[in-house]
Amino acid sequence: MSVQSQSSLLHKYKGVLFSTMSSEALLDSLDSFDAREDDIFLVSYPKSGTHWVAEVIENIPNAGITLTSPIEWGDFSKFEELKVVPKRRVIPTHLNYEMIPVTVKQKQCKIVYIVRNPKDTAVSLFHYYRDNPNLPSTETWAEFLELFLKGDVVYGSWFDHVLSWEKHKNDKNILFLFYEEMKKDFVKSLKKITAFLDISVNDSEMDKIAQNTTFSEMKTNAVKENCDPNHTICALTSDKKLVFRKGVVGDWINYFTPKQRRVFDEVFTEKMQQSDVGRCLKEYTNAEGK
């Protein structure tokens, strides 16, 4: 990756790499954002399932919500844009806990945090770097993995991001969701989401939501909607075709060499040794591509 391509597409803010589509002025002003008590924030590290959960919430009938573009997408005018949204706002973001606007914490807005096995996340982010013109392309998987483990990628270290949120996972206004558990038992996860958001959904509505938010259905719809700027969920692109790649659990096994796996596992063990989330993910980071 050339230094020039990295510097024209990414910039460092408070030690973390951001896309230049998140202006420094906007990042500087996050604490001036006026949260509403009924706001819902959808938070994750990139490529962890935010689009999926957003589609699920959008498919809940009569929920009275409006999905907005990410809070860190754009410039200072973003807050004026969010101010005029009339309904209950669902606001996506990839920010770590420290950078979340202070009024969101003060008003204890509901926050859904989605976490995914970091090996699958790394593979997915590698493809995103290659396919997304808003990110600097890396030549090889080995080169990208090194950057990922150092936290020298957009939104910084996966480990730091997850740990910043894990400190608050027992706060009553925060719901932790595991991507892999959603794949395994979607209805159970959907019930968790609707109960957390105080929205009632009957069984036939649940079935319909499940049908509308299968990976193939979302991928088909993404091609139809494509670049609708009003339907941007990721702060790294408005092109929805770039967002959905495979959506499977365990694809990492097709990329990691035994040595890469060993190095990754050492870093994972070191960083996540005190982490309950790390213990929950162990099954997926060790699984033989299951």
CATH code assigned at 140: 3.40.50.300
Eight-state DSSP code of residue 197: T
pLDDT at 190: 92
pLDDT at 244: 46
Full domain range(s) for residue 279: 3-286
pLDDT at 220: 61
Is pLDDT at 108 greater than 70 in this prediction? yes
Eight-state DSSP code of residue 74: B
CA 118 – CA 158 distance, rounded (Å): 7
Is pLDDT at 115 greater than 80 in this prediction? yes
For residue 177, the SS3 value is: strand
Span 121-169, pLDDT tens digits: 999 999 889 888 889 988 899 999 999 999 999 999 999 999 999 999 9
Q: What is the mean pLDDT of the chain?
A: 87
Tally of residues, the chain = 290
pLDDT at 36: 97
Tokens representing 65? 């919500």
The predicted model gives 31-57 an average pLDDT of 94
In single-letter form, the type of residue at position 46 comes to P
Assess contact for 89 and 68: CB atoms under 8 A: yes
How far separated are the first and last CA of the chain, in Å rounded?
Answer: 32
Closest C-alpha among 184, 185, 167, 119 to residue 276: 167
What CA–CA distances, in Å, run from 184 to 81, 100, 249? 37, 30, 10
Question: How would you class 201 by CB atoms within 10 Å of its CB: exposed for 0-12, middle for 13-18, buried for 19 or more?
Answer: buried
Look at the pTM and tell me if it is higher than 0.85.
yes
pLDDT band, residue 174 (cuts 50/70/90): very high
Assess contact for 254 and 289: CB atoms under 8 A: yes
pLDDT at 247: 60
Catalytic residues: 94
Span 198-250, pLDDT tens digits: 999 998 898 888 888 776 666 665 555 544 555 555 545 555 554 445 567 78
Q: How many domains does the chain have?
A: 1
Eight-state DSSP code of residue 15: T
CA 134 – CA 5 distance, rounded (Å): 10
CA 116 – CA 196 distance, rounded (Å): 20
In single-letter form, the type of residue at position 189 comes to S
CA 41 – CA 35 distance, rounded (Å): 10
Hunting for tokens 């996340």 — which residue is that?
A: 121
Lowest mean pLDDT among 1-10, 36-45, 193-202, 224-233: 224-233
